[in-house]
Structure formats: C-alpha cells, structure tokens
Chain A
Amino acid sequence: MSEVIQRDTMLSYITGSVESSAESVAIRAINERGREDLEKTPFPTRKDEDWRFVDLKSITKSQFCKLEEANAADVGDISEHYLPEAMNCRLVFVNGVYNEELSSVEDLPNNVIVGNLAANADNNSVKEHLGTITNYDDDVFAPFNDAAFTDGAFIYVPEETVVRTPIHILNVFTDAEKAFYATPRLLYVGEMFSKSTIIEEHIGLADNQYLNVPVTEFKMFTGSNVHHARIQRDSKNASHVSRPIAILDKNAEYHSYTICLGAKLFRNDPRVIQNAEEVNFTVDGLVLIDGNQIADTHSIMDHRFAHAGSHQLHKVVVNDSAHSVFNGKIFVAKDAQKIDSFQENRNLLLSENGKVNTKPQLEIFADDVLCSHGATIGQLQDEEVFYLQSRGLTEQKSRELLVYAFALESVESMEVESVEKLLLSEVIEYTNRDNK
C-alpha cells in the first residue's frame, strides 16, 4: 500500500482557527458541521480531476486572516453602486458583514422578507432550509463557508407573491492591510408560485488581496420563479470561490446568469438540482478576463426526474495571459425521460499567451431525451473584420465591435435595465482596453 501522505487542508491557509461567534443555535450547528468536514477533507491539488487545470497559487501562497485582524478600511460612500430600480430593496454587506445603515428595505409586498440571516434565525424557513441544500462532495470551500459564516442574506417570498422590484444583494470589499477571508451567504426560499429577481453583486473597491467564498442556496417550491444575476467584480488580486446551488420542485423555473469580470482566481461551481418533474432552468455565464486572471466554471445540471428543459450558454473572452476553464456536466438519471437540455460553450481566444480548457460533458442514463452540447475555441473571423473595415472602421475598432457583439448576447438576458447598462459599460471598457 502507498503511504499516507499528509495533505494540506483549507485551514493551512487560514491564520488562527475558525471559531464560531454566531448567536443562533442553528447557525452554530452548521458551523460545527462545516468544521468537521474541513478537518477531514484535504485541500484540492492538480491531481484531482476537478482541479486539474486550475492554478490555486493565489490561495495556497497566502495566509488569510479574520476580518477583525485585517485592519480593513471604512467603506465610505458606495452609492454609485446602488441600482436605481432597487433603491428600497437592497442589502449591503461590507467585507461579508451586514451593514444595516447602507441597506434599505421598504415597500415590499406583505410577508416578503428581505433581511439578514442572523436577525431571522428563528424563522421557520431558515431553520428548515439553511445549510440543507448545499451538496458538494469532497469539497473544502462550501464547508469553509459553513464553518465560518455568522450572518448572510435571507430572502423569503410567500405563496403567490410577485416581488416586482429587483432585490439587490451588494457585497463590497474594502482595502485592508492584511489579506482576509469573507464568507457571504444567501438563502432564498420561494414558496409556491412566487416570483422575483435577485441581483447578487460582489465588488472590490480597491486592489487588495482577499478570499471571497460565497455560498448561495435557492429553495424553489412548486411553480416558483427566480431570475438570479450574479455579477463578480472583485478586486483583481482577490480569489473568489463560489458555490451557488438551487433545488427545484415541480414547475419551478430558475434562471441564473453569472458575469465574471474581476478576481485573480475565480472558481464557480453552479449546480441546479431537479427535485420533481417538469422544471425549467438556465445556467448562463459570461467571462471576460485578461492579465493573469483565471476563471474556472464547473457546472452541473442535474436532471433527476422526467420532463425538464434546461439551457446553458457559457461565453468566454480571453486576453493577455488569462486562462479560462469550463467543465459543464449535463446529468440525466435513469428514468428521467423527456429531457431537453442544451449546453453551449463559446471561447474567444485573443492572445498568444492565453489559454482555454473546456470539457463539456454528457452523462445520460435515459433514452427518450434530447441532450446536446457544443464547444468552440476560436478567434475573430478575418472575413468579419474585413467586412467592418470595408465599411470604414479601423481594424482596431472592428475587432472591438466584434468582441462587444460576442459578449452582448449574455448581457441582454439581464432583466434589469441599470444592470444591463452597467455591464455594457464594463464590456466596452474591456474591449477598449488597448486604447488607453
């Protein structure tokens, strides 16, 4: 037998111990469970299939401390990041800590809850669902969040209620003397036939290094509907490892759109689990990276029952020495018939030193299904560039326009106008970067 090699755990990169300071008994129980999982799970290396292509140096070469020890700067005025549509429907977390002053929740329909977890710890839905939806095997990041979180966002939409205002969950990170870790948490419970739009944002206000490990859990009851946009604009030196997961009852619809712009290391493992027949979901993504950024998406579309429609469009633009990894899995269980699932991964590789790894994966155990995927890695077509040049654009401008058009498709799915505008300006900034 080969000798047992002592492998590092997540805690090897954390200064001090992860102690729970949560007041709620329920949260403390999850903290305890997370700590147990953390101790027995080794930190991933490139020998693990799921981490083969990704360089985890930005975590393993550092030590991350508690926020209290990091001497973080004050948040200051962040009103430029508020969404006009959601002026009265906003939860703000600064470095992972709930900030009541900056948050604003007013005029919501009856019985809708948009608040922080700690304050709602006695809510039955929180007790019932918090920590029960996350389901990642051999993982260290979800358990790390489990072990360390003390608060988070909680959204509850009651039966047959439609929240028309988008709900803005704004996570901002300030400059700090030391690299710290944050574990934002979001629990969403949508009762039968409820509907809402969630904008989850992560913004780094400076260029400092920190580790952001968010977990989001979506419990979708029969006929509920959610539009979930996740915008990641972390600091260019931050590491962001997120675990968003949704579980869908009959007739539920869950549409998620993840936009990756920031962070040095971005790893995202979205998972949608079908818990009953007849559901519909989307797991879209747009990744625009340059410099030394690494963006890695490992998604699972888990079809466990019959009758589902699902779609994934994952678009990536890679520039400079950036590296993109995509591993998308469509899973169809035995007897889960009548599944229509489509996955598309389009990569635009623009630079000599950029790198793209993609592995779209089908695992199908039912016969009456229509599952397909497509993956391409390419560059701008010379004909297209020529066409635009023949219309009087410079070559540079033509290329920018084409990259812009490539990214546009994903941005247009945003249902909130100001978010769409914001993203368009981000896309323009990305495509015009050479002009600066």
Chain B
Amino acid sequence: MSEELSDGVKELESMIGEEYKYGFTTDVEYEDFPKGISEEIVRELSRVKEEPEWMTEFRVKAYHAWKEMEEPTWFNATYKKPDFENMLYYSAPKKKPQLDSMDDVDPNIRETYEKLGIPLEEQKMLSGVAVDAVFDSVSIFTSFKEKLAEAGVIFCSMSEAIKEHPELVKKYMASVVPVRDNFYSALNSAVFSDGSFCYIPKNTKCPMELSTYFRINNMESGQFERTLIVAEEGASVSYLEGCTAPMYDENQLHAAVVELVALDDADIKYSTIQNWYSGDENGKGGIYNFVTKRGICKGKNSHISWTQLETGSAVTLKYPSVILKGDNSVGEFYSVAVTTKKQQADTGTKMIHLGKNTKSTIISKGISAGQSNNSYRGEVKISKNATGSKNYSVCDSMLIGQECGAHTFPYISSENPSSSVEHEATTSRVGEEQIFYLMQRGISEQDAISMIINGFVKDVLKELPLEFAVEANKLLDVKLEGSVG
C-alpha cells in the first residue's frame, strides 16, 4: 500500500469515526414511572395508558411468557447485558399538548426537531409526507390525518388504535411475531409503550408516503415501540422510519416489534434509516437495537420489501424477515450496514418460502471500519410445497482498516427440486486498482474512495423512497464524506 493511500485510509477512518452529530438532549419534564418490571408495573402501565381489559391481559400474559424465557446468546456480539430491573418502562411528556396547529407543540420539542433537521411544517406543505412524530413514547403530533381518512387509510398511534380499532388490533397484533417468538418480542409485548398503526383498506393506494420519526430522549428509558401495518387486498403503502438519538453514557435498550401483513395483491414497502448513538471511541454507551421485524405475504401475488440503512447503535441485532405464504408472492431485503469505532452489528434477513412460485431477493452491503464487527446472518428456506420458487442473495462486505471484522453466516436450505437458490458473498477492501484508475482520471484520492463506496451501496440506496434518499445521502456523508474533504 502506498504511503499516500494509507494516509487516505487513515483520514477516511478518522472521518468515519466522526462524533455523533445529533448528540444533545432536550429538557422536557417527565411523568416518571418506577424503575423495574413486575406484573404490577405492567398492569399500572396499561392503566396509565387507559387500555381496555383485553390489552391488559395480553400484556400480563406476555410478561409471564417473558419471565420464563432466557436471553439469547447465539449472535456474534458481546455486550453488557441490559439490567431489566433497573430500567424505566414508560415515560411520556408530562403535558400532552392539544394539537390544533404546530404552535401548540412544546417549543423545546419543536427545537429538537429543528436541530435534527426535520422541517415538520415544510414536509407537511412541500413534500406531502404525513409525519407521525414519536417523541419518546407517546405520539404528540399526527398530521394529514384528514387527507388519509378521506382515502380510508387509518394511520394513528398504537394506543389510539387499541381504543378505536380494537377489532383490527386484536385480529392482527402478534399474528406475525407471536408473543413467544423470542425473548425481546415477549418483553415488547408486555411493556410496549406506543408505536404506529396503519391500515390500508381494499384496493387503496395510500395517497402519501407514511413516516415516523423515533427519538429516544429520556435517560434510562428503553423504547418499546410496536408497529403494525396491514394492507388489505390490492392495497399498497410505503412506510418510512428514521431514527436519531441523543448522546448518553448509559446503554439504552430498544426492543421494537414491527409486523407487516400483506393480503392478496397487496404491496408494502418499509424503509428504515437508523442512526442512534453508537457509543464513544472506547465502546462506552450507545443504543442496543434488538428489533424483531417480520412481514407476512399472506395473500396471493403480495409483495413486501424491506430497505434499511443501519449506521448507528452500539449493538444491532435485527433480521427483517418475510414469510412468503401466498402463491406468487415476492419478498425483498435491501440493506446497508455501516459499523465504525466499536460498533457491533449482526443483521440480515429470513426469507421463508411456503407458497408456490414465490420469489425473494436479498442484497446486503456491509461496511466495517475502526474496531467494529459487522455480520450478515440470513436464512433462506424453501419448503417442500414451494414449487418453482427462486431466491437470489448477494452479501458483500467491505473492510476499512486492519482492526475490524466482517462475517457472513447464510443458512440456506431447500427441500424442493423445482426451486433454485443462489447465494454469493464477497469480502474485500477498496481496491487499489480502482482508486488508481479514478485518480489517473484526475479525481482526488478522497473523492475516489467516496465514489467507490457510493457505488458499493448504490444498489441498496436506490431502493429508498426519494424523500429518504436525500436523508440517506446526508447520513452517509456524515459517516463517510470525510474522505472527500
């Protein structure tokens, strides 16, 4: 390696390790809950949220299920286990503002949004995106509700849905991710604070992209979001989720559950940008992101697509999956995971082919730098009845620096002689020849590295909806643009 090049890599590394830009906290008073977890706490939580009896029972049952389960340890990451007894399970802004207009929102909160660069009003007016902003746990702002209502789309917080649409919640909640699915889904089922609920009726195309911004703001408060999206026959929706969190020393746990249900001919596209605090140089602090995301293509010709850009969190364990139950259904997974400093990411997907002629595509790109470890873990399963099914997977990893690691654990199985599975994976670094080629075209070294990395992740970023693509580019810039300097 030439000396200049190694300088370039150093610079790139230093820029990748850039301080967390969104690390500030907003001073809002909290109605604090006692720490720890017990049946009483779960019941109290349900009571504070004014939930109906069936929901309280659901939570209590989940709590007892969780009590019996053991914390999983199979993933490729080491971290200090969260102390479940020393955690806050509920926090909400004390004064719940009555929202007639933006002016009614707590000025502190509005300021936070501004610092984050989320122009709520602008988005409202210019981009036509309905924003259900979740500040810590309780939804405080929902816009475009009327317009959505006109189309018959229900888009509200989970607490609201439990009260106003109990029949839908009862029917679909925990139908994709059962309570006992795993340790964290059980915990979430017991103590989930709030989240988004979205229902698209028959043959309706959701008139706008739906979006939720999550933000963890209260120290020691784990976030237990619960999202449920149901697309009826012939319905289609694109849902965006983006996260930034302030800088804290204490590890915070985020154990969300996201469930997608697509009926006949329905189409759900779920995009995520995740940029939570990843801890400092020494791996101190940072968010634990243990999320269960799963969609089911229940009906014929249905389609579910996951796109994610994972750049934050100290530890990420996340496997957005698709169960391809309906015949001719399609599942897709596009992911870019960037790890720097001492971050650890173990992420990937599961594609379970049950229906005939089902198809799935997996494109996963991992970039590891610093002392981080980045793992792809995926499962493709073609069952006996899934005749004529196809899967195509690509998992590429790029290593920047000599102390990081990249790992691939794809589980592939087929029990069917008319289906085909293809899997490819490569691990390498930014090629010297590639840099040289660009440089001899008059491009600076930093620009060249940046271009190569952009090219590396392009397959995935192009899947993001336009509104998000801009933000994704910004985020990658923050993480990687240093080399362009």
Residues 340-357 of chain A: 1 if any B CB is under 8 Å from the residue's CB, otherwise 0? Answer: 000000010111111111
Count residues of B near A (Cβ-Cβ below 8 Å): 36
Residues in A whose Cβ lies below 8 Å from that of B1: 368
Is there contact, CB below 8 Å, between B404 and A377?
Answer: no
Residues in B whose Cβ lies below 8 Å from that of A351: 417
Within 8 A of B (CB), among A350-379: 350-379
Is there contact, CB below 8 Å, between A367 and B421?
Answer: no
Q: Is A335 an interface residue (CB 8 A)?
A: yes
- Among B408, B420, B421, the most chain A Cβ lie within 10 Å of the Cβ of B408
**B200 shortest CB reach to chain A, Å:** 35
In the docked arrangement, what's the CA distance between A149 and B415, Å? 39
List 18 other contacts, CB 8 Å, given A357-B411, A361-B410, A362-B397.
Answer: A334-B402, A335-B402, A349-B416, A352-B416, A356-B412, A357-B412, A358-B413, A362-B406, A363-B408, A364-B407, A367-B404, A369-B429, A370-B427, A374-B422, A374-B423, A377-B413, A378-B422, A379-B418
Residues in B whose Cβ lies below 8 Å from that of A372: 424-428
Is there contact, CB below 8 Å, between A359 and B412?
Answer: yes
Closest to B395 in A: A362
Q: Is B291 an interface residue (CB 8 A)?
A: no
In the docked arrangement, what's the CA distance between A359 and B412, Å? 6
- Among B412, B418, B426, B427, the most chain A Cβ lie within 10 Å of the Cβ of B427
Is there contact, CB below 8 Å, between B427 and A371?
Answer: yes
Within 8 A of A (CB), among B408-457: 408-429
Closest to A381 in B: B420
Is there contact, CB below 8 Å, between B415 and A355?
Answer: yes
Is there contact, CB below 8 Å, between B401 and A367?
Answer: yes
Closest to A2 in B: B70
Residues in A whose Cβ lies below 8 Å from that of B299: none
Count residues of A near B (Cβ-Cβ below 8 Å): 37
Q: Is B403 an interface residue (CB 8 A)?
A: yes
Residues in B whose Cβ lies below 8 Å from that of A360: 408, 410, 423, 425
Residues in A whose Cβ lies below 8 Å from that of B415: 353-356
Q: Is B400 an interface residue (CB 8 A)?
A: yes
In the docked arrangement, what's the CA distance between A334 and B373, Å? 12
Q: Is B345 an interface residue (CB 8 A)?
A: no
Is there contact, CB below 8 Å, between A367 and B400?
Answer: yes
Residues 314-357 of chain A: 1 if any B CB is under 8 Å from the residue's CB, otherwise 0? Answer: 00000000000000000000110100000000010111111111
Q: Is B326 an interface residue (CB 8 A)?
A: no
Residues in A whose Cβ lies below 8 Å from that of B382: 377
Closest to B393 in A: A375
Those 7 A-B pairs whose CB atoms lie nearest each other, nearest first: A367-B399, A378-B420, A372-B426, A362-B408, A377-B414, A377-B421, A357-B413
Is there contact, CB below 8 Å, between B424 and A361?
Answer: no
Residues in A whose Cβ lies below 8 Å from that of B419: 377-378
Residues in A whose Cβ lies below 8 Å from that of B423: 358, 360, 373-376
Is there contact, CB below 8 Å, between A369 and B427?
Answer: yes
Residues in A whose Cβ lies below 8 Å from that of B400: 367
Residues 363-376 of chain B: 1 if any A CB is under 8 Å from the residue's CB, otherwise 0? Answer: 00000000000000
Residues in B whose Cβ lies below 8 Å from that of A371: 426-428
Closest to B426 in A: A372
Is there contact, CB below 8 Å, between A377 and B399?
Answer: no
Is there contact, CB below 8 Å, between A373 and B414?
Answer: no
In the docked arrangement, what's the CA distance between A303 and B125, Å? 57
**A2 shortest CB reach to chain B, Å:** 8
Is there contact, CB below 8 Å, between B421 and A363?
Answer: no
Residues in B whose Cβ lies below 8 Å from that of A354: 415, 417
Residues 166-189 of chain A: 1 if any B CB is under 8 Å from the residue's CB, otherwise 0? Answer: 000000000000000000000000
Closest to A332 in B: B427
- Among A353, A358, A364, A373, the most chain B Cβ lie within 10 Å of the Cβ of A364
